[in-house]
Amino acid sequence: MNEVIAAFLTPEVRQWWHELMRATTALPPVVTGAIAIPVVLALAVRSIMALLVTVLIAAAAITVSSLPGQVEHRWLIVQVICLAGFVAVAAAGLHRRSRTRLRRATSELAALASRHAETSEKYEREVHWRQAAGKSGVTWGELLPPADAHSSIRSTQPS
């Protein structure tokens, strides 16, 4: 893992990072706050992909804002970049909500499948016994005990 980090953190990447931090400290606090809002929201959504996208978008916004040119044009580009960050955060939030709904639907489906299997088993037993009764020539009503059978059994027992 350290080799991967060392390979990624080349001197050029470290220099770019230091220049990015220097440019960030040179920006007015309002601009820095506007650029940081999508990153904070990505942390709140708890999505690694949204966090990576918003950090890259924030780095682009800081780079653009430190370039020479008219302030109005730079501010407009920073606003568009921040809106892109908000879109990334919204997409991550929708993805998280859909994943939660899918998990809930999967558990409901498992419960319904279990209930269906149980009901199917009961139905199959019922069909089996009805078919067996039909083959033996007994009607279904003859299989049921009479309503007063319980009381007649008691009357024959000695008290």
Q: How far is CA 94 from the centre of its chain?
A: 8
Residue 43, in any domain of the structure? yes
pLDDT, average across residues 118-124: 88
Among 1-10, 19-28, 66-75, 113-122, the minimum mean pLDDT is found in: 1-10
On the question of pLDDT at 109 being above 90, the answer is: yes
Model pLDDT, residue 65: 78
Q: How far is CA 25 from the centre of its chain?
A: 37
Residue 98, in any domain of the structure? yes
Percent of the chain with pLDDT strictly greater than 70: 81
Structural domain including 97 reads 2-122
Count how many domains the chain has.
1
Q: Classify 70 as helix, strand or coil.
A: coil
On the question of pLDDT at 148 being above 60, the answer is: no
Model pLDDT, residue 16: 77
Residue 106, in any domain of the structure? yes
| C-alpha pair distances (Å), 104 with each of 10, 72, 99 | 45, 48, 9
